[in-house]
Amino acid sequence: MLFVVSIVLLIGFIVQNLWNSIVSPVFSLPALTLAQATGLFILAKILTGGLFHPAGGFWRHRRHWRDNFKNRWKERWDNMTPEEKEKLKQMYWGKCGYFRERQERMYRTEKEEQL
């Protein structure tokens, strides 16, 4: 327990020195005390990664959601007929804007390889 407290205070000291030497002069903000810097570190840790789980917090749930989304679409794609796949491609190509030409080139290359 003493080790964890000392590590948190050390990191708070580093945050304090970085803030007071970089952020305060550049943005004309007030200097931080050690308690404020430690609180800022703990708040940032909670918001970005969780306190007790290294990959916890928001990012773990986002990664889980992304994987589920990809798996659901892969399963749908695998169960589609070629006509349904073509219809879906055409529907989304009209909405992709910047990537439309790239996707069309890739699709043409894919069609040529099949011939």
Q: Is the distance from CB of 19 to CB of 32 less than 8 angstroms?
A: yes
Residue 73 and residue 43 in one domain = no
Q: What is the mean pLDDT of the chain?
A: 78
pTM: 0.43
In terms of residue numbers, what domain contains 91?
61-114
In a domain? residue 56: no
In a domain? residue 69: yes
- Alpha carbon distance 80, 75 (integer Å): 9
Residue 66 and residue 110 in one domain = yes
pLDDT at 105 over 60: yes
Of 41, 52, 44, 32, the C-alpha closest to 12 is: 41
The burial class, CB within 10 Å (0-12 / 13-18 / 19+), for 23 is: middle
**Tens digit of pLDDT for each residue in 44-90?**
887 776 655 555 555 555 666 777 878 888 888 889 898 888 888 77
Residue 36 and residue 76 in one domain = no
**Tens digit of pLDDT for each residue in 46-58?**
777 665 555 555 5
The span from the first CA to the last CA of the chain, in angstroms, equals 67
Q: Which comes out higher in pLDDT, residue 23 or 115?
A: 23
Number of domains composing the chain:
2
